[in-house]
């Protein structure tokens, strides 16, 4: 994999990247959503489809711990006294997005913590009475609670998709709990108000599943066909990733979580203001709605073949990162599930941001 970079002390010989949500309004007006391969300066090297990955098939034994509203299932590897790195997956993925990242980090002395988010894998709500809520601040507070339960004060937090959004939120609202972040696709903090702004038709098409989930038919369809649905998203979001059935099926088990459908549907309906959240999160969502600045060190990554919605460069959100910053585009046909498709680049970003 080759990587181009644009840093806080900007290196003019290197450039790249992309982003998302609070700046969705700008995208709507300027039509900036597109695939990374559309960026003028990004080449598409041949042969990526046969690139090797998946050297590790399992994390081995998982752990469980009560944390906040959840009993969280997570993988842990590396020395107990190593610098902690919390690795966060997105939808429709799971902890195995980091199955090759974790050993690369532990070989450098890091302690890797890889939790299942609420609604995935072995993570369970402690009470059947708890509202199955997926609004962004609730998910971020899950991770704060996990850090508290594990007595981790200030880890590096790295993720993609929902995981990148969660890393952004923790860095913005609780910078004292975050040493640095690695965020795939940039600044993903948004609000219900920004979700109401219509996009250009081509951009709206990329969000087709969000509108499907807004219907009862969509909820029933996702419940019944979640395996096929997730596999379709994998293929469209990473069109050059030639994953095999075993790789997908290993993650698909996580979608059998009894709360998975409720959490996924609530997430996408909440974004469109079609579902209510909970009052106890209102203050946090108000803070997020203004697009808070991220002050901790950050590296933003983007694949050159990301088929999911994103910006063609970091112009719309670059000013949201006020700390030391680098922006890298990872070449070689790399799609949305960047840590699993390019684990070495992802692990290197974690090690580099630790030195910022």
Q: Distance between the two ends of the chain, CA-based, in angstroms?
A: 22
pLDDT greater than 70 at residue 137: yes
Q: Is the pLDDT reported for residue 178 higher than 90? A: yes
Whole-number pLDDT of residue 313: 87
Candidates 166, 158, 141, 165; CA nearest to 70 is 141
CB atoms within 10 A of CB 38: 10
Read off the pLDDT of residues 196-206 as tens digits, 9 standing for 90 and up: 999 999 999 99
pLDDT category, 13, cuts 50, 70, 90?
very low
Averaged pLDDT for residues 103-128 = 98
pLDDT score, position 2: 53
| Phi, psi values for residue 264, rounded to 5° | -65, -45
Query: b/e for 96-125, b at 16 or more Cβ within 10 A?
Result: bbbbbbbbbbbebebbbbbbbbbbbbbbbb
Q: What is the mean pLDDT of residues 108-119?
A: 98
Burial class of residue 204, CB neighbours in 10 A (0-12, 13-18, 19+): middle
3-class state of residue 13 by DSSP: coil
Which one-letter DSSP state was computed for residue 278? -
Task: Return d(Cα 287, Cα 146) in angstroms, integer.
Answer: 22
Mean pLDDT lowest for which of 59-63, 238-242, 258-262, 350-354? 59-63
pLDDT in tens, 268-298: 999 999 999 999 999 999 999 999 999 999 9
What pLDDT, in 10s, does the model give residues 63-85? Answer: 999 999 999 999 999 999 999 99
Cα–Cα distance, 36 to 187 (Å, whole number): 16
Q: Which two tokens stand for residue 221?
A: 């369809």
CB–CB of 118/70 below 8 Å?
yes
More confident residue, 6 or 110: 110
Choice between 31 and 290, residue whose per-residue pLDDT is larger: 290
Distance CA 189, CA 186 (A): 9
pLDDT per residue as tens digits for the range 185-226: 999 999 999 989 999 999 999 999 999 999 999 999 999 999
* Residue of 120, 49, 37 lying closest to 306 (CA atoms): 37
pLDDT of 31 > 50? The answer is no
What percent of the chain stands above pLDDT 90? 81
Q: What is the pLDDT of residue 1?
A: 59
To the nearest whole number, what is the mean pLDDT of the chain? 88
Give the Cα separation of 144 and 169 in Å (integer): 11
- The single-letter DSSP state of residue 201 is H
Asked if residue 22 has pLDDT above 50, the reply is: no
Question: What integer is the mean pLDDT of 146-155?
Answer: 98
**What's the confidence (pLDDT) of residue 174?**
98
| Dist. CA 97–CA 107, nearest whole Å | 18
Query: Per the structure block, which two tokens stand in for 78?
Result: 């590396």
Mean pLDDT for the stretch of residues 121-147? 98
Q: What is the mean pLDDT of residues 107-120?
A: 98
pLDDT at residue 4 in the model:
59
pLDDT digit string, tens, across residues 43-67: 333 333 333 455 677 898 999 999 9
CATH code at 3-354: 3.40.50.1820
pLDDT at residue 139 in the model: 98
Q: How many CB atoms lie within 10 A of CB 187?
A: 30
Identify the CA nearest to 236 among candidates 129, 99, 336, 133.
336
The residue-averaged pLDDT of 93-118 equals 98
178 class by beta-carbon count within 10 Å (0-12 exposed, 13-18 middle, 19+ buried): buried
Tell me what percent of the residues of the chain surpass a pLDDT of 70. Answer: 85
pLDDT of residue 314: 94
Q: Are β-strands 180-184 and 298-303 bridged in parallel, bridged antiparallel, or unpaired?
A: parallel
Is the pLDDT at 266 greater than 80? The verdict is: yes
Sign of CA dihedral 301, 306, 309, 315: positive
Predicted confidence at residue 54, as pLDDT, reads 57
Question: What mean pLDDT is predicted for residues 316-322?
Answer: 96
**Nearest residue to 10 (alpha-carbon basis) of 295, 328, 304, 301:** 328
């Amino acid at each position: 994999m080759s990587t181009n970079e644009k840093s806080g002390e900007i290196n003019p010989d290197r450039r790249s990247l992309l982003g998302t949500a609070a700046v969705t309004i700008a995208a709507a007006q300027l039509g900036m959503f597109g695939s990374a391969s559309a960026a003028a300066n990004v080449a598409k090297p041949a042969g990526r489809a046969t690139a090797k990955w998946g050297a590790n098939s399992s994390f081995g034994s998982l752990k469980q711990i009560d944390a906040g509203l959840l009993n969280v299932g997570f993988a842990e590897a590396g020395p107990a006294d190593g610098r902690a790195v919390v690795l966060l997956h997105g939808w429709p993925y799971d902890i195995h997005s980091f199955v090759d990242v974790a050993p690369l980090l532990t070989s450098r002395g890091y302690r890797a913590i890889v939790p299942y988010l609420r609604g995935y894998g072995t993570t369970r709500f402690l009470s059947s009475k708890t509202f199955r809520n997926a609004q962004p601040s609730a998910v971020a507070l899950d991770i704060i609670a996990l850090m508290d339960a594990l007595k981790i004060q200030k880890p590096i937090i790295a993720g993609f998709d929902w995981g990148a959004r969660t890393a952004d939120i923790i860095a913005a609202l609780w910078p004292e709990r975050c040493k640095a972040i690695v965020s795939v696709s940039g600044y993903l903090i948004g609000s219900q108000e920004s979700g109401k702004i219509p996009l250009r038709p081509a951009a709206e098409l990329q969000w087709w599943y969000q509108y499907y989930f807004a219907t009862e038919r969509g909820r029933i369809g996702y419940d019944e066909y979640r395996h096929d649905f997730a596999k379709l998203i994998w293929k469209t979001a990473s069109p050059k990733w030639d994953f095999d059935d075993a790789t997908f099926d290993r993650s698909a088990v996580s979608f059998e979580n009894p709360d998975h459908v409720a959490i996924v549907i609530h997430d996408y309906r909440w974004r469109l203001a079609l579902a209510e959240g909970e009052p106890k999160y209102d203050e946090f969502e108000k803070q997020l709605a203004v697009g808070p600045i991220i002050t901790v060190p950050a590296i933003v990554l983007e694949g050159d073949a990301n088929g999911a919605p994103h910006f063609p460069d970091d112009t719309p959100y670059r000013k949201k990162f006020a700390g030391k910053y680098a922006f890298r585009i990872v070449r070689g046909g790399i799609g949305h599930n960047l840590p699993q498709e390019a684990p070495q680049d992802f692990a290197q970003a974690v090690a580099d941001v630790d030195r910022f």
